[in-house]
Chain A
Amino acid sequence: MSVLSPEQISERFRAFSPGSRLGYAVLLALVVISFGYGFFFQVISMNSETQVSGSYFFLYNLVVFLGFGALWLLLHKSYKARSASPARVFWTMLLLGLLFISAAIPLTSFGRDAELIDVFDAVDEFDYNTGAPLVVTTIFKSTFLSLFALIFTLYMIFRIKDLVLFKRTKTAQRNWYLMMAAMVVASLTFFMKSPREDPNILQVIALIPPLGLMVVNSLRASWIVYLNFKEKLISISLSTLLLIFLLTSVDAGPLPNPSPFLQDLFVYIQFYNYGLNIFVMLGIGFGVLYCTASLLLLLFHLPTTGDFQRKEHERAVMHSLTELINQASDPERLYAQIAASPVEAGSAQASWLAVADPQSGSLTPQIVATNKVTPGRVSRLVDTVSLFSDVSASGAYIYLGEAAADHRLSVRPGDGFGSMLAVPLIAREETLGILFVTKDVTHGFEQDDIDAIQVYAAQAAIAMDNARLFEEQLEKERLASELDIAREVQRKLLPQHVPVVDGLTIAASNVSAERVGGDYYDFLALDDERLCLVIGDVSGKGASAAFYMAEMQGIFQSVSRLAPNPSEFLRHANAALAHSLEKNVFISAIYGMLNLKTEEFTMGRAGHCPVAMIDLAGNARYLRPAGLGLGLDRGQLFEKTLQEERISLNPGDVFVLYTDGVVESRDVEGEEYGYDRLLESLKQHRHEDAEGIHDAILGDLDGFLGIESYDDDMTLVVLKWNGINLASAQSNSVKAKKSAAQIEQKID
């Protein structure tokens, strides 16, 4: 026994997949064979004197049922489920119904002897005992009527399914398929039934489930909610017509009045196949039920149309809004989406969006997106500029029911601009753009349409506004990332480690209030004997300060090697900076020189905070020689006022250099840390090494502030002189090692 591989199986099934020619051909052949067989069987039974034997009759029923199934599949395959409008569904059903009866009327009325018509059944055409047809025309009639009736019924069921399963839920889908199954089961209970017999109790019971489910399904009409007033009226009239048609033209079994057109239709079908007759009756009955229910629901919903419309539009707008938000990253796509949505939602036939471009400054509106109309056509036919200014000025929409009559439009009837609506997109009291929507009919927009488009425009405005904010944010982030790079560069300008010098401990740190700062400190070993250091503070904050700080670094690294003393250095620095500093920018600095050989500390102060110093005994003071800030005076005054301070070093001497961020930091009450607290803290911790003192001062400052953020750049450098160890005096040299000096960054 060969087992088919999955590929082979799917290959076989693909032959029957929708759209495949082979599938169609096979099904069509089945239908033809089945109806052909049925036809010949009828001919044979017509010519036989007696009742056809049971097994033949069974075979006949089996074949015709298979034929019906094949026809069902064929129609199902060829039927394209579309979310068509309800009006269209009713309309097409009506059309097919008319086709059906126009084909069926000649068949039913052909060869009828009006004299012999029995009101109850057409006994004249079927044998009273066997139920066999009496003449060949009868066979034709019953075969083709059955075929047409089945096609019509199936088609109607498919159409109604689109409506019932509109916005489908699991339950709705289950109920639908249950109903179809129950209809088939009920039909099958009449499988071998002779048309001459009455239904037995079992068969009557089998009819109950399909009828119940038909009622349940006919109440599924959620599509009604989505119709506007006009569409509802159309649906009402069409469903009424269809209902009238079904009740009058198609003689639906249980009804008292037989159809005036299709005499004894169901008799013919019943004699062809009792089961089919039941199925067709149920199908048409369902059509009647559904039309009735729809009609009643439509009438019932008519007064609340506005509310539902608003609800629905809110929902639709929310949906569009999520669409819009997805486009927020790209203005072009956002514009296209804004222009497309009214057309997609069926609120308009064409639309376009005009935006007053803020970059151009002239505020001339530009058409940025169109839908179902070309920009060229718009600019030819519509004076967008004057409409834009009118709408912007009033802040309200303009509705032209007869667009051709308005002087701002040069349209003629037939241009497709029957009516036009221009709605402003307003966000934060600014008209960002105007959405134009048009229909080819005059007076094409009802008040509820206008309301809906206004709601949509408001949302679109928010989306556009967000897109702009998003752009700005991107720009900000670009800047921020550039500043991050600047900070990295700046960090490299600051010493990566403090120098290691015999007899001296050094600790230093720098914190910027913003990403980049204007504080600077540095060390430079000139030779084995001399260590230079500088601390500086550029006025102002941020990027400009950072540039001058970088310049200061360049000056320090180069001029230090040439200047014999602090005064000389500061003079050179002032002269160099005079060329580049803005008028309102100056730099305060302290330049110090430590001579290990002479054990002296020499310093000059250019407007900077005084150096705090303390000796082993605890005598603390500030060193404040006179001196102007760098860049304040570009002439003689700077040199005249500059003084130097020279200190002979004793073991235990501590020098603290800092920027104003330290002493001017204020706690929540606004009190400054101040010079006294700094000196007090220094006194308390003077016995520790430089790093200990440095950390203690910062700790004391943090404790005083009670917060972890600073308003200003802050730099703190501590030097402690321990004295030269004579044994290593010969070899003392200035080296560098990794230090704990950290350049932190204040996170805002």
Chain B
Amino acid sequence: MSNFSVGFRSLQSVNVLDLKGELDAHTASELEAAIKKCQDDSIYQIVVNGANLNYISSAGLGVFMAYIEDLRSKGGDIKIAALQPKVFNVFDLLGFPMLFDIVDTEEEAIEKFDAQQTAE
């Protein structure tokens, strides 16, 4: 019955998570599992593609908060890309753009990772 799914794509050292549907209190665990899996695979650079994400609730936003510290401490990050305006507004209201890189396209997000890599 869940109308939410996470798709995995692996691009070099970056994992792309394609979110589809509605991310709320009931489906948050699926995204958690996906991020955990990335961690287990020792991939700490994650791009979340929200092109097909139609809705996010505060519980869904909580998932990003739960893992970001851990990922950053391991030199990784979550970058959020291609959000629909309505979903972006939810991120924006809470001030997420201050805490995360939220960009227009997936390519931009990957470029940012690459730029960070070269900077280091």
Contact = CB atoms under 8 A, between A and B. Distances in A.
A632 B95 contact: yes
Interface stretch (B4-12, B45-53, B63-71): B63-71
Given A541-B25, A588-B93, A632 B99 contact: yes
Contacts of B93: 588, 607-610, 624
A628 B58 CA distance: 13
Contacts of A537: 58
Interface in A205-224: none
B104 to A, nearest CB: 21
A605 to B, nearest CB: 9
B86 A632 contact: no
Most buried by B among A583, A584, A608, A637: A584
B58 A588 contact: yes
A539 interface: yes
A332 interface: no
Contact of B99 (A538, A541, A633, A672): A633
A663 B31 CA distance: 25
A434 B54 CA distance: 51
A660 B89 CA distance: 12
A584 B29 CA distance: 12
A584 B63 contact: yes
Given A628-B95, A672-B86, A583 B66 contact: yes
A633 B98 contact: yes
B33 interface: no
A540 B56 CA distance: 11
A585 interface: yes
Interface in A475-496: none
Interface in B49-103: 54-55, 57-59, 61-63, 65-66, 69, 86, 90, 93-96, 98-99
A477 to B, nearest CB: 23
Q: How large is the interface on B (under 10, 10 to 19, 20 to 34, 35 or more residues)?
A: 20 to 34
Contacts of A585: 62, 65
B58 A586 contact: yes
B98 A539 contact: no
Given A537-B58, A540-B58, A588-B58, A628 B94 contact: yes
A664 B66 CA distance: 24
B95 A583 contact: no
A339 B88 CA distance: 64
B68 to A, nearest CB: 9
Given A583-B65, A586-B65, A672-B86, A539 B95 contact: no
B62 A586 contact: yes
Contacts of A607: 93-95
A96 interface: no
B98 A641 contact: yes
A195 interface: no
B95 A584 contact: no
Given A626-B95, A637-B99, A641-B95, A584 B66 contact: yes
Contacts of B66: 582-584
A155 B65 CA distance: 91
Contacts of A583: 65-66, 69
A629 B62 CA distance: 11
A691 interface: no
Nearest to A540: B59
A637 B95 CA distance: 10
A541 B59 contact: yes
A522 interface: no
A396 B99 CA distance: 61
A264 interface: no
Contacts of A664: 55
Contacts of A670: 54
Interface pairs A-B: 8 shortest CB-CB: A539-B58, A584-B62, A584-B66, A628-B95, A607-B94, A629-B94, A540-B59, A583-B66
Interface of B: 25, 54-55, 57-59, 61-63, 65-66, 69, 86, 90, 93-96, 98-99
Given A588-B93, A627-B95, A628-B95, 7 more contacts: A538-B58, A542-B25, A586-B61, A586-B94, A607-B93, A608-B93, A637-B99
9 contacts: A538-B58, A539-B61, A583-B69, A586-B94, A588-B93, A607-B95, A610-B93, A633-B98, A641-B95
